[in-house]
Structure 1
């Protein structure tokens, strides 16, 4: 190394090898620090001074170790490549492949009282921070040579690591902002095109704000970031609008795979950025779709509509902070909507909104039975189960009390008689006459009742009207739920958007959709003995309200001839994936083309139902007729939909 004037003492210039035995632990100020204190309420997340306790909530979950992925960079980073930019003009020792860098403004730090003036602590910090890159390419940076010359620290690093160390320029260490530059060149020392320099500037901002231990990226108060202020990023609206998408492209380009990126960045703070909508940061869900923790505190969100762009986008989101936004006063009930938008959300503004058990119960919902599987039953707090048990028992014993408990003035009930339903295939119940006289008068079978007044007269609303219809039915005895459970097929799932009787939530509240398929005996009014066996299908929409806390919003009953319970028991049916599949598929099992599994066919049925509003049965039949070609099925539907019967569609 070339001799320089004002060389420091021998002890001060021995380098890290001689002094690291005396190394002292770097205090908190020697680690990553953000650009300024958080103002207002709510939560910054990270190691910034003045950070609130919201950080503990936002990053409390255990994180898995991570790495990150390469993606094409467009717009202002169109020609940016991955990896560090080669340093131009640096003094490199050819035999060693080292590059010399100068570190200044460090000698007045809090570590200056250390025996070596803080040199070993500074070198350790430089190595650690330069190694903590946003990249799948893990590389440990080591400073090979160092010496103090006056107020400068001269370090030599491998040429390929020079860019990582240069990006520490302006970072805070032990209470001071250190300056790092290449010797004999411009500050920062970045060569290459303007695009490359912009890319490296943005990458430096990201790495300075990234905490590898907590997998946290702090993008709060970006307008106060010194590097961004130097580039006047937020002085011009057009530049400011392009900055965040460019930042996301740099983030994507730093990682080998999407999995690496998702594991490496699990928490993000966008607090204190004066955001009034999500337009400028709309690309965050595309870049980090599996984000777990998000801080949007102390911005300018006033309405739910300003946040709707991210509705249902962060499926894995567990915690979100929205404190310090005007929406808290403008829409006090916004929390219920936020909880619905993010199905795995555990914590909102530091308050638990779902337990781990709630999440586990949601994840236990089986697939739709197709062609037949065990029933899908999703419950919360035993609400659905308790309702079913009480309703079936109450219908058999005291219907007047039942209607008073579960029906209100907005509750709707209708029933229909299906006289053409198939009978029990095992012929265990022989019935010569169906005898529908007790039901046919008010049957609302829409395939047979086409006149609007007749349809309206057969829809009953309110507890008194429902009670009168119930009283006209024969006495019944349903199969016992405890001892004859196999005679039922009962399914339930969460139903969002149920009308809120209090009117507090315009978008509705969570309720339940429950379907029950089973059987009952009609009893002789004189003897109380069974005289006829029926099968039934019943669908409920439940919402909050009523004396028990649960009210029936809608109740639809179908009564039909006894059809047996064989179809409800998966053990009695070997589908296309069962043991009998190799021999011959039973009647009713879809004959699927080679390469199309039952699971794929299910998803095709659900998607066709979604796009056409047909029932699952009609969607399945449509796909079968075109040999499970989805585009052709859509075309076939469009050509025949005008001729389809009303029951081909899901009721509005």
Structure 2
């Protein structure tokens, strides 16, 4: 972010860029306009001509030397104990102060009947009231009169400082100068150079902040005349400390974290010649719930330059990256960007997710753990053939099925779960369960506590199992090939399955198969479905029987229909609607190899020390390994600043940032 470097120009024609930037009636720019188009958010109208102090005198240099500024920026970035204090005015509270406003008659509004006077007064009141912080004032101009080319206004002493800070602001194409008639400075009685610098930084923030749109315009900071006059970007030492110091001042303006998050939902960092996010990384610490972000017309050449915010801004909805070299260097970069931000709706003005996609992901996020892709390990198609055959037989001929797969050692039981969640998309949330056909033989161990009752509901052998099948209403399961999304099938090989021949006392190899899905209860008179249920079924298979496979154990759970949302794996890179095929039809999935790359550590910190810091931070915060590492990397692997950074962003972190609750 160096002032001397040339700002990259967008490839979009100038006329289109101008039309894409929607200005409000006060000349401020709206983030919404930039998001709808592909152009970046433009910068506010910079002040023109030499900067003047409160007495109207031109100043050629900043208020501080370079050495003093470096020290002050260091203090502003590293301390919180000095609060932002307004200068105490000598006048008593409520006393009216006279201010002189000049330069306004050169505006584009001068052709109006009153020369733009009424519009100017409304703008002055609105802009002076647009202060950052929990205690923003509602500034009012009490009296006004025109003397030649000057506008003389009277305001309370409390409001005077807010208006004088607007000296040099642009309004309707003109530069407006504001000064006190009594010659007092705009800084009032600020006690130190540090306080002056903080006041200057806060003035920059307030000048670039729009209350109505909650938009903070930090574009083209290197070309900001006030910052250039302070020589902020003359040296790398002050350039690197400037942004963290400004964000610290921003944070000090608010009493509560929620006030800060609510005040700013959109930020533009366009036209700042950024190669990476190193100098601006603290934005994610102070505005973790940001919704709209513009990074257009910078120098990002690859995804590597953006990785600092890979696990930040969980609530981000709109992102603009146009006008960066990454568009030519990595044409498919957008796929990775979409996977980084699960709530992103638009990238460069193009829709990448619908509201339906976001709602679906939100429902999945409410589950106690993320849904992963199914695992299906088979050998010789044994498990696949069993699943295909079994459910067809259960729907069409249960007696034959019982004789085909079950023997005298086989066991079957079923249970009704009446408290399972229902389909969140169902129109009728109060539909009755109608469990009469199941209750008599339901072996719900939470309900059935007596041992004889439990034993009587566990069926052994083909005959008893066939009789139990007869008590269950006639069913029809979805076609496994045509309606694959309604199934979730998993299988794995296990050892120690009882050997019915007795040849192997330690057991034999078999399969553990779990099936989740839905079924329709069929009305025998009409052949039509009368009730939809969800089910879960667990099988243990061993060798034997006519088909070479016998069912050792069969556990069935019947519950109210719960939909298919929980059967869809949580693909991080999903943009289009999620699709699922039975695991048995997929190739076995390989677990990803762990990353072999070591973290980039600062000098003097070895890997063993870094691992210890990671373990301590994970224990203290309950964050997962990835989030704890990112947190430490943000603060150069310093433990205490990492804890402070975590405290600032904790409420904005996604659910997957945390592990299991720590042991008490």
TM-score range, shorter chain: 0.5 to 0.7
Aligned-pair CA distance for 1:252: 1.2
Residues 326, 277 of structure 1: alpha-carbon distance in 2 compared, 3 angstrom cutoff = same
**In the alignment, which residue of structure 2 is the partner of 1:260?**
259
Which structure 2 residues correspond to residues 311-330 of structure 1 after superposition, within 5 A? 311-330=310-329
Matches of 2:221 and 2:333 in 1, distance apart? Answer: 27
The 1:57/1:37 distance shift into structure 2, 3 A limit, reads farther
Deviations 1:129-158 (A, max 9, x none): 111211222422111222223322222211
Q: Call closer, same or farther: CA 1:423–1:224 in 2, change over 3 Å.
A: same
Please tell me whether the aligned partners of residues 411 and 459 of structure 2 are also in contact (alpha carbons under 8 angstroms). no
CA distance, structure 2, for counterparts of residue 536 and residue 327 of structure 1 = 54
Q: Is the 8 A contact 1:252 1:261 kept in 2?
A: yes
1:123 to 110, 116, 121: 121
Name the residue aligned to 1:82: 84
Give 1:637's aligned residue.
none
Map 1:368-447; keep pairs closer than 5 Å: 396-397=387-388, 426-427=454-455, 428-430=458-460
Cα displacement string for residues 2-60 of structure 1 (whole angstroms, at most 9, x for unaligned residues): xxxxxxxxxxxxxxxxxxxxxxxxxxxxxxxxxx999415889773799898524399x
After superposition, give the CA deviation of every residue in 1:561-581 in whole Å (9 maximum; x if it has no partner).
xxxxxxxxxxxxxxxxxxxxx
Distance 1:160 1:221 in 2: 32
Give the conservation status (yes or no) of the 8 Å contact 1:540–1:555.
Answer: no
User: Does the C-alpha gap of structure 1 residues 119 and 479 become closer, same or farther in structure 2, counting only changes over 3 Å?
Assistant: closer
- Mapped to 1, the partners of 2:568 and 2:126 lie a distance apart of 60
Distance 1:167 1:141, change over 3 A: same
Note the residue ranges of structure 1 that are not aligned, 5 or more in a row. 1-35, 60-71, 370-374, 385-390, 400-420, 433-442, 449-471, 490-516, 557-602, 612-627, 633-652
In structure 2, the residue matched to 1:280 is 279
Q: Which residue of 2 aligns with 1:578?
A: none
Q: Aligned residue for 1:640?
A: none
Which residues in structure 2 correspond to 1:209-220 (within 5 Å)? Answer: 209-220=208-219
Q: Determine if contact 1:107/1:151 at 8 Å carries over to the other structure.
A: yes
Secondary structure of the 2:244 match is helix
- Out of 150, 153, 161, which is 2:151 matched to? 153
Determine the structure 2 residue equivalent to 1:482.
Answer: 519
Residue of structure 2 equivalent to 1:175 = 173
Residue 105 of structure 1 corresponds to: 103
Q: CA RMSD in A?
A: 5.1
Q: Distance in 2 between matches of 1:297 and 1:143?
A: 39
Distance 2:131 2:119 in 1: 20
TM-superposed deviation, 1:364 = 1.2
Separation in structure 2 between the aligned mates of residue 477 and residue 231 of structure 1, nearest angstrom: 68
Cα distance 1:529–1:310, how it changes in 2: closer, same or farther (>3 A)?
closer
Contact 1:206/1:217, CA 8 A, preserved across alignment: yes
Q: Is the 8 A contact 1:111 1:118 kept in 2?
A: yes
Q: Which residue of 1 aligns with 2:243?
A: 244
Match for residue 331 of structure 2? 332
CA–CA distance in 2 between the matches of 1:145 and 1:609?
A: 60
Please give the secondary structure, in 2, of the residue aligned with 1:280. Answer: coil
User: 3-state SS of the aligned residue for 1:482?
Assistant: strand
Q: Which runs of 5+ in 2 are unaligned?
A: 1-5, 39-73, 376-381, 391-409, 414-444, 446-453, 463-491, 498-508, 522-531, 557-566, 591-617, 627-659
Instruction: Work out the CA distance in 2 between the residues paired with 1:74 and 1:357.
Output: 44
- Please give the residue correspondences for 1:592-603 in structure 2 after superposition, counting only pairs within 5 Å: none
Aligned position for 1:57:
36
- Equivalence for 1:519: 539
Matching of residue 40 in structure 1 with residue 39 in structure 2? no
- Give the Cα–Cα distance (whole angstroms) in 1 for the partners of residues 133 and 372 of structure 2: 41
Q: How do 1:276-315 and structure 2 match up within 5 A?
A: 276-315=275-314
Q: Which residue of 1 aligns with 2:234?
A: 235
Taking structure 1 as the reference length, the TM-score comes to 0.54
Distance 1:146 1:158 in 2: 13
The CA distance in 2 between the partners of 1:534 and 1:336, in whole Å, is 45
Aligned-residue offset at 1:210 = 1.2
Residues 430-455 of structure 1: per-residue CA shift (max 9 Å, x gap): 369xxxxxxxxxx965899xxxxxxx
Question: CA offsets, 1:385-418, max 9 Å, x none?
Answer: xxxxxx998754489xxxxxxxxxxxxxxxxxxx
1:163 counterpart residue number: 161
Q: Deviations over 1:210-268 (max 9, x none)?
A: 11111111110111112111111111211111111111112112222111111110000
Secondary structure, aligned partner of 2:539: strand
Distance 2:514 2:173 in 1: 79
> Residues 279 and 58 of structure 1: is their aligned pair in 2 closer, same or farther, counting only changes over 3 Å?
farther
Measure, in 1, the Cα distance between the counterparts of 2:365 and 2:586: 25
Distance (whole Å) between structure 2 residues aligned to residue 542 and residue 554 of structure 1: 18
Query: Structure 2 vs 1, CA of residues 530 and 268 (structure 1 numbering), >3 Å: closer, same or farther?
Result: same
SS of structure 1 residue aligned to 2:322: coil
Aligned residue pairs, count: 421
Distance 2:8 2:33 in 1: 12
Question: Closer, same or farther in 2 for the Cα pair 1:283/1:46, shift >3 Å?
Answer: farther
Provide closer, same or farther for how the CA distance between residues 131 and 608 of structure 1 changes in structure 2, counting only shifts above 3 A: closer
CA drift of 1:187 comes to 6.5
Measure the CA separation in 2 of the matches of 1:338 and 1:227. 35
8 Å CA contact 1:488, 1:519 repeated in 2: no
